[in-house]
Structure 1
Amino acid sequence: MAKLRAASVWGSGALLGTIGVQYVTGWGSDAGAEKLNDLVYLPVVLLTAALGLRLVQRGGLAPRERRAWILLEAAFVLQVVAHVVSVVQDFMPGMPAYPTISDYLYAAAIPFVVAGLLLLPVTRRNAAQRVKLLIDSLIIVAVACMALWYLEIGPILQYPGADPVVILFSAAVPVLDLLLVFALISLLLRRPQAGGAIGLLGGSMAVKVVADSTYTIAYVQFGFAFRPGSWPYLFWAAGAFLSLLAVDRRLREHGAVPVERRSRVRLGWLPYGAIVLASGMLAYVARGESIYPLGGMILGTIALTALVIARQMYAQRENRRLAVTDPLTGLSNRALIADRLAEMSRQPLREGRHGAVLLIDLDRFKPINDAYGHEAGDAVLKAVATALTSVIRSGDTAGRVGGDEFAVVLPTLPSRAAAESVAQRLVEALRTPVIFGDAVLGVEASIGVAFRDETTPDFLQLLAHADAAMYAVKRAGRGSYRVYTPELDTRAHDAELRRAVENDELVVHFQPVVTLAGGDITAVEALVRWNHPTRGLLMPGAFIDLAEETGAVIPIGEWVLLDACRQAAGWRAANPDAESLRLSVNLSARQVTQTALVDIIRNILAETGFPADRLVLELTESVILQPDEQTVARLNALREMGIGISVDDFGTGYAALSYLRALPVSVLKIDRSFVTGIDTDPDVYAVAEAVVRLAQAYRLHVVAEGIETAGQAAALIEMGCVSGQGYHFARPMPGEDLAAKLSSSVPAGRPGRA
């Protein structure tokens, strides 16, 4: 079917070629050429109308585009009727008076074409952009109107002795052509979708306007009438064939156009070109006027118009530059980066040509801002911009997309290794210290690399891939780069983690906290594990950071607290000696920011029956580092319920003991890094002892983590630490094993001030 249609289209086009033969050879009389001209048109216009009817009936078009093609189909049908009437007239005796019925039918088709062109889908614009485009279109049409008035309409209206009907119809033809010009210019400036078909249709209307204008101007200005088979007739034939090709092209495209097409041809100059044309016409008319008064005024008007155009074009260029430039660094801003990424995503995938985006996030930038002020931070950002521009090529785009986040778009790379080479050079360049006054500011960057391929249908997906790779670098230690792989897809892992909660794939293990002197169990810490269906039992390090990043840590944290409290309540019911046992559960930074945190914990305690004064919530240092008022209020509310507040892994971040005074903290857990080597290195011992003594001065109960030897335990007892946990005493174990262990161990009471 497709081959038959193609043969019909090109076969009918070949028939139109006989008009070209007439033009070249001059063969035949005028009457014969006129009849042949009308006859060869019939297959083309009939096929155009038939294919147009099939297009609007087939379905799959967007409603707006379908309405546009219905209007165009009405114009095609009128053209068929007009050509049939013209053929009949050719074989009737006598010459019909102008304008004939076919002339009226041709004219009646034009408003339908105009309406159809204006209704075709275009790139979406806001209200201000639509007003600007309307003004630009009207400028061009106004100049076209001046030209047609001077060359066609004015002389026609002044033609001596002509019939009024002939005068009015002859003047109406250029007016209808003006409407076509307006529709075409509006369509082109608004960037139409389905560019191939609409380009052909626009070309059809353009050559028709040129043919109409040439024919009329030659007659009214020079009294010359083109004979059938001359070049205006070639243009009319070309216009008819282009319309046929346009309908056939759109019919071969299935469904609505999926992507807004970006025109490669810049048409913003059209309004200015039209003004230049108008000025040229004024200058031509003024040649016959004296310099005083009219000639000088016209020349002055032209000069002023030229200056206004120059100023407007410069202002637009400057506004464009400011709109896409980051004012601090001078790099591209988020809008231009998005534009470059979208442009790269539209390019066809080719062998030996690769596109990539690098997403860059500065490591430890916030402490620089906090310690040295925003001027220091700005100096670092400017230095990063300089480093970026020194590494990338001239065709690449570097931009700042956030506070301390940058992006580099690499649209044309010879290989994937080239992108990794750029990423490695950027990692090294960004390690260069920044001198700010007397301070030397060190900064590094985590870089995520994502390549454009079949898995990235749009630039948003490409950015998401680069973002996933960048956060993978941060989780792995920062200061490096990583290329995206599907395993890094945080959204997929987030969904998997949330399903793990729903499918009861998580389990809680418990590690005892003991008195260092006697080894009695005084508390247990709840530690989550993931019993993955394919990867086996996973430790928290394999998924907690990702859960924190995606927000899945909130349902995970609630589930762990609920399950741990339920099991601990069961131990208390089965073993009276376990009533004094404390339960420590980790609380993530995201959980602390929950507005309903206090109510959630209160409901869990009520559901499980576990007493609030036996629960200790462990916070990370990121929570206690300059907490906001809401966080302090929530923690105070929990403390008033009797719940203990502990700081976990103290010493691994930026927290200082002075920050603890802002929070109702009761327990301080010293990180294992302070414990390792405590029994063999005097310096390590001194530092650990200082932390223990300072914590005790703040009346905090100290628990040492990561105790693995008897020597470490003895050293901690010597410096005054009462409690500890680690493999030396017991490894984390399932709740059933801990219940058995508790039945053979008697708790020593409270571990200290709660």
Structure 2
Amino acid sequence: MGMAELRARPSRLRTASVWGSGAVLGVILVQYGTGWGSDAQARAVNDLAYLPVVLLTAVLGLRLIREGGLDRRERRAWTLLEVAFLCQVAAHVVALVQMLRPGLPAYPSVSDCLYLAAIPFVIAGLLLLPAARRSGAERVKLLIDSLIVVGGACMALWYVEIGPLLRTSGIDPLVLAFSTAVPVADLLLVWALIMLLLRRSSAGAAVGLLGGAMALKVVADSTYAIAYVQFGFAFRPGSWPYLLWAAGSFLMLLAVHRRLGQDGPARAERPGRGRLGWLPYGAVALASGLLAFAAREQSLFPLGGMIIGAIAITALVIIRQMYAQRESRRLAVTDPLTGLSNRALITERLAELVRQPVRDDRHGAVLLIDLDRFKPINDAHGHEAGDAVLKAVAVALRKVIRSGDTAGRLGGDEFAVVLPGLPTRAAAEGVAQRLVDALRTPVIFGELLLSVEASIGVAFHDETTADTEQLIAHADAAMYAVKRQGRGHFRVYSPELDTRARDAELRRAVDNDELVVHFQPVVPLSGGPGLGVEALVRWNHPVRGLLMPGAFIDFAEETGAVVPIGEWVLRESCRQAAGWRAANPDAERLRLSVNLSARQVVQPTLVETIRDILAETGFPADRLVLELTESVILQPSEQTVARLNALREMGIGISVDDFGTGYAALSYLRSLPVTVLKIDRSFVAGIDTDPDAYAVAEALVRLAQAYKLQVVAEGIETAAQRSCLADMGCGYGQGYHIARPMPGDALAELLVSAGLGHGRQ
């Protein structure tokens, strides 16, 4: 038997005991439905049926205090409640003993006193249950709200119960004191219950069950007392107040059972009025209605008119307070510039959206909107022009969204739209496209015509969005994907846009040996020795298959994952090249070219890393060429120059890749330790048919020769292009005409074949 089954067995036994005792208590329901037995028999059945429930409640309460994993405050609360449980056990036992004695016990009996003694401990326990942290102002408002409710309840109890008791003549003082103490205790219990509900204290469902138990008790007590005081009628055992008392006792048992089944201390919910904010107003309405009922037989002049005036003034105060709260709420959740919702309300709406269950026929989405070219407007024309643009964006948002949607400004030029209850996902994409179109409309500001566009990221609430942060992160990833792809449109989130997940996936690819290196030959264009190869990385993705560098290198550069990828490529290509040299003496003069990313160049440990890789693989430094992009040499820092010089002193060649496509200054070709210049494929295309293209390519070749650099041309696709490059003096070339990139074992076979240096004619 497994540990899970061993732990589950006591829980199942406890649950069976709880419901079994509830079934015993159910005989009161049977008694209520059938009216069986005399008063004495009904009272005996009633007291006997209670014992299993109250005993089990006390036992489980004691276990909860000792083994329930409660924090100190909650343990004190349940300890006080446990005292109340024990008082109830004692009260029912005493009631059974009294039943065995002849005659009815005098009122108030010992069991009555024990019932009453339990109430203060219940009140204290309810007030000590954990609740959310609140400011001083929030605590004062909470106290006022609870006192309003208690005031209304006090008026009702005074009118129907306490007042008539105090006016009763000839009543025994002890009986009067006890009979008055019961509604007062119930009133305090109502106050504690209201405080518990308004504080939104949370111990799971346990608090709701406790609240229900106390509410049933107060209703049963009040009903029993009012019937006796107002109408002289005493309910017999088995009637419906006894049914409410029984239900309350069982709910209290369920509360202990449910709390015992939870793990760890209870967590208080976020402060808020929630659905119980109407309680103070309900209490005022109750008090006013009661006042009007009491004065129904009074003359309208002068007493009746005063009462009506008091009710009217109270109603106006309530309306004024509700309007003030609504206005305060509006100001608290509104952006003052645009009139849209602010970040607080957007966060609230997102939380509501995430709480909704995921359904196939209802979809929820969030649109994250960032304005393109907004900062230049602010810088060039001032903040008033920027504010005009933001207000125009707000107008466009209101025109596009539905009445139930929420549009808001998160700050600066960033907006969000929450779309709940969409029939299809395509509906959200339609809203996004209409927003893209609407925000392209220029904004007139004085004599200026201000143009902006928007990049919009769309994310849907589904199984992957467990909270608002995740949903916003998805929309944010989609929005930045739009910005990388040219701005001015929208994109729906997909897992491959998740920068954190993709970065982790790329790094795992290195650890899991999912990367592979292919090699493309670099040959002398005029024949002769000097064969080289360029190492090119591929990702053998377990799901998407073999991916070319364009599918992941730019993203790896952005996130920094290119650093471990670059180190792996250098180590793996040097290892394979060293193996070719050992197996084939003709490959000793083979040159290996490996791309070095901009992120790698700025690493302080670059030189040490490359030195360690060469030592580990045994590949000679003077046969290695590191290829840099123009962005690296555009404005090199002193540290970058020092690292490149250190690599050059080791004998490593430095190549400028894709020369001519960027903005590299020619002066850096002299100041940096560059040995090779690679002409981009865009300058090779058309040289065999276009004289102008030929002239430009020839100028680049002559420039490299003037700087005493070796020249390599990329992208040679025809024999005519190869011939033209050879004629203009280009030393080396690579491209599909010569050989496609291939795995290492295929290249090893080519190294032993004849005529590779002359290419394929």
Q: What's the TM-score once normalised by structure 1's chain length?
A: 0.71
Select 1:560's aligned residue among 569, 573, 579. 569
Out of 338, 355, 359, the position equivalent to 2:363 is: 355
8 A Cα contact 2:371 2:414, kept in partner: no
User: Is the alpha carbon distance of 1:401 and 1:316 closer, same or farther for their aligned partners in structure 2, counting shifts above 3 Å?
Assistant: closer
Q: Tell whether the 8 Å contact from 2:130 to 2:201 is kept in structure 1 after alignment.
A: yes
Alignment of 1:290-301 (within 5 A): none
- How many angstroms apart in 2 are the aligned matches of 1:193 and 1:316? 27
Q: Aligned match of 1:543 in 523, 529, 552?
A: 552
Q: How many residues align?
A: 714
User: 1:543 offset after TM fit, Å?
Assistant: 3.4
The 3 A distance-change label for structure 1 pair 190 and 445 is same
Q: Whole-Å Cα distance in 1 between the matches of residues 708 and 343 of structure 2?
A: 50
In the TM superposition, 1:41-60 aligns within 5 A as: 42-44=48-50, 46-47=52-53, 49-50=55-56, 53=59
State the alpha-carbon separation in 2 of the partners of residues 665 and 268 from structure 1.
Answer: 73
Closer/same/farther in 2, CA of residues 661 and 174 from structure 1, 3 Å limit? farther
Q: Which amino acid aligns with 2:565?
A: I
1: CA distance between counterparts of 2:668 and 2:339? Answer: 43
- Tell me the secondary structure at the aligned position of residue 643 of structure 2: helix
Selected match of 1:504 from 513, 528, 535: 513
Q: Is the 8 A contact 1:331 1:399 kept in 2?
A: yes
Which position in structure 2 is the counterpart of 1:228?
234
Contact 1:619 1:645 in 2 (8 A): no
Is the aligned partner of 1:527 residue 2:527? no
Q: Deviations over 1:375-411 (max 9, x none)?
A: 6877776665555443332223344557766554333
Structural mapping, 1:17-416, within 5 Å: 18=31, 36=42, 39-40=45-46, 42-44=48-50, 46-47=52-53, 49-50=55-56, 53=59, 63=70, 72=81, 74-89=83-98, 92-93=101-102, 96-118=105-127, 125-128=132-135, 131-143=136-148, 151=158, 169=178, 172-193=181-202, 198-212=207-221, 224=230, 226-229=232-235, 234-235=240-241, 237-245=243-251, 247-248=253-254, 251=257, 255-256=261-262, 266-271=275-280, 309=321, 313=325, 316-322=328-334, 325=335, 330-350=339-359, 353-360=361-368, 386-399=395-408, 407-416=416-425
CA RMSD of aligned residues (A): 6.1
* Greater mean deviation of Cα atoms: 81-90 or 397-406: 397-406
| 1:134 positional shift | 3.3
How much has 1:146 moved relative to structure 2? 5.1
Between stretches 503-512 and 223-232, larger displacement belongs to: 223-232
Q: Secondary structure at the match of 1:561?
A: helix
Task: Give distance in 2, aligned partners of 1:173 and 1:530.
Answer: 79
What is the CA deviation profile of residues 277-336 of structure 1, one whole-angstrom value per residue up to 9, with x for unaligned ones? 889999999999999xx99xx9999899879946862563145314xx5x6655445544
Q: 1:638 corresponds to which residue?
A: 643
2:342–2:410 contact (8 Å) kept in structure 1: yes
Deviation, structure 1 residue 501: 1.8
Which residues in structure 2 correspond to 1:477-492 (within 5 Å)?
A: none
Structure 1 position 582, deviation (Å): 7.3
Q: Tell me, yes or no, if the aligned pair for 1:207 and 1:239 is still in contact at 8 Å.
A: yes
How far residue 578 of structure 1 moved from its aligned partner, in angstroms, is: 7.1
2:311 & 2:709 partners in 1: Cα distance? 89
Q: Answer yes or no: is 1:616 the counterpart of 2:623.
A: no
Contact 1:194 1:261 in 2 (8 A): no
What pairs up with 1:410-489 in 2 under 5 angstroms?
Answer: 410-426=419-435, 428-429=437-438, 441=451, 443=453, 445=455, 447-453=457-463, 456-463=465-472
Which piece of structure 1 moves more, 527-536 or 660-669? 660-669
Query: How far, CA to CA, are the matches of 2:374 and 2:696 in structure 1?
Result: 27
Letter in 1 for 2:518: H
**AA aligned opposite 2:455:** A
Distance 1:720 1:405 in 2: 55
Is 1:706 the counterpart of 2:706? The answer is no
Cα separation, 2, equivalents of 1:165 and 1:494:
79
Query: Given residue 313 of structure 1, which amino acid in structure 2 is its aligned partner?
Result: Q
Q: How far apart, in 2, do the equivalents of 1:100 and 1:331 lie?
A: 65
Shift in CA distance, 435/14, structure 1 to aligned 2, threshold 3 Å: farther
Partner of 1:500, secondary structure, is helix
Q: Which runs of 5+ in 2 are unaligned?
A: 1-11
Return the letter of the residue paired with 1:347: Q
CA deviation map 1:606-638 (0-9, x unaligned): 4525659965352475x789x8xxx84542442
Q: Alpha-carbon deviation of 1:241? A: 0.6
1:613/1:641 contact within 8 Å kept:
no
Equivalent residue letter for 2:365: V
User: Is the alpha carbon distance of 1:141 and 1:500 closer, same or farther for their aligned partners in structure 2, counting shifts above 3 Å?
Assistant: closer
Change (3 A) 1:5 1:207: closer
Pick closer, same or farther for the CA change 1:521–1:154 going to 2, 3 Å. Answer: farther
Distance 1:141 1:331, change over 3 A: closer
- Whichever residue aligns with residue 604 of structure 2, its letter is V
- C-alpha displacement of 1:155: 9.5
Q: How do residues 620-699 of structure 1 correspond to structure 2 at under 5 angstroms?
A: 621=631, 632=637, 634-642=639-647, 649=658, 656-657=663-664, 671-673=680-682, 675-677=684-686, 679-680=688-689
Distance 2:479 2:390 in 1: 18
2 CA distance for matches of 1:278 and 1:712? 98
Does the CA-based 8 Å contact 2:440-2:451 persist in structure 1?
A: no
Q: Structure 1 residues 67 and 700, CA, compared in 2 at 3 Å: closer, same or farther?
A: farther
2:114, 2:262 → 1: CA distance? 31
Corresponding residue of 1:750: none
**Can you list the C-alpha shifts for 1:245-301, whole angstroms capped at 9, x where unaligned?**
46448858994389998999522344566678889999999999999xx99xx9999
Shift in CA distance, 661/149, structure 1 to aligned 2, threshold 3 Å: farther
Residue 484 and residue 97 in structure 1: after superposition, are their counterparts in 2 closer, same or farther (change >3 A)?
Answer: same
Distance 1:392 1:203, change over 3 A: same
2:8 matched residue in structure 1: none
Distance 1:362 1:115 in 2: 53
The DSSP-based 3-state class of the residue aligned with 1:43 is helix
Alpha-carbon contact 1:358-1:466 (below 8 Å) kept: yes
Amino acid at match of 1:641: A
1:15 correspondence with 2:24: no
Measured in 1, the distance between the counterparts of 2:289 and 2:707 equals 88
After superposition, the Cα gap between the structure-2 partners of 1:692 and 1:607, relative to the gap in structure 1 and judged at 3 Å, is: closer
Q: Deviations over 1:630-651 (max 9, x none)?
A: x845424424535587765578
Q: Which residue number corresponds to residue 598 of structure 1?
A: 604
Identity across the alignment (%): 51
Q: CA deviation at 1:526?
A: 3.3
Distance 1:373 1:696 in 2: 50
2:630–2:656 contact (8 Å) kept in structure 1: yes
> Paired residue for 1:751?
none
Distance between the aligned counterparts of 1:624 and 1:285, measured in 2? 93
Query: How many Å separate the matches in 1 of 2:386 and 2:165?
Result: 72
Aligned-partner SS, 1:63: coil
Distance 1:619 1:359 in 2: 37
Give yes or no for contact 1:332–1:400 (8 Å, CA) kept in 2: yes
Partner of 1:586: 596
User: Cα deviation per residue 1:215-264 (whole Å; 9 max; x = unaligned)?
Assistant: 66888xxx647532289984564253144246448858994389998999
